[in-house]
Amino acid sequence: MATNRLKEILDSKKMSFSELKKLLEEKDVKVNNSQLSLYSSGKRNPKNKKIWVIISEVLNVELQEIITDINAYLTIMAEISENSSEKKEEIENKKIDEELFQELFSLIDKSKASELEKVHRYCGLAATFEKLGEDITKEGAVIDVPSGDYMVKKTNPAISEQVRVNAALIKLDEWFELKRQSNNGDNPKSGEDWSEFT
């Protein structure tokens, strides 16, 4: 941190690093006195910038009172906002995964292990498909691959893997669609061979 008033604020409150450390431990933040000293002197920054927010909370002061450098303050707030967005997205994804599982689970005969396995397999493949999509977006459709002394451009292998996973999902989708029809009273064609889905 370029500048901060941590030591000054502690002195004004007649608090030591040890007392601050205890308050932080109550918030599940593990730091030692030497780390706090380095933070206050600006010689080191916490890896997790949210520590500054927690310090301001336990000292009952605004973050801006501790972090006086505007650029440092904005950096902290940007990182916290980014982490918060990632956490929110993670929670949303878990909710969607759970809803998908429950939807598919409601279609099957719970007494059959093979049908339960299909639900788990579908959910696993769906998660893999999403992860591959994220990787493709991040790395691009074409990537640089070392070849001897040169770098050559090749199609991202995650694309072909995503196509393969998608084919498996489509196949399982057909099986679940037959289950949906069956549960809605639309019986599949008599003599339908379901072995290809197992």
Token pair 């199609």 in the structure block, residue: 155
Token pair 């090749």 in the structure block, residue: 154
Paired tokens of 40: 């206050």
Rg of the chain in Å (alpha carbons): 27
pLDDT in tens, the chain (198 residues): 447 899 999 999 999 999 999 999 998 889 999 999 998 988 888 888 889 989 999 999 988 899 988 888 888 888 877 766 666 677 777 777 888 899 999 999 989 999 999 999 999 999 899 889 988 998 899 998 888 888 899 999 999 999 999 999 999 999 999 998 888 765 544 444 544 554
d(CA 6, CA 67): 8
With a threshold of 0.75, does the pTM exceed it?
Answer: no
Rounded alpha-carbon distances, angstroms, from residue 180 to 95, 122, 193: 22, 15, 16
d(CA 78, CA 62): 17
Q: Is the Cβ–Cβ distance between 195 and 158 less than 8 Å?
A: no
d(CA 56, CA 64): 9
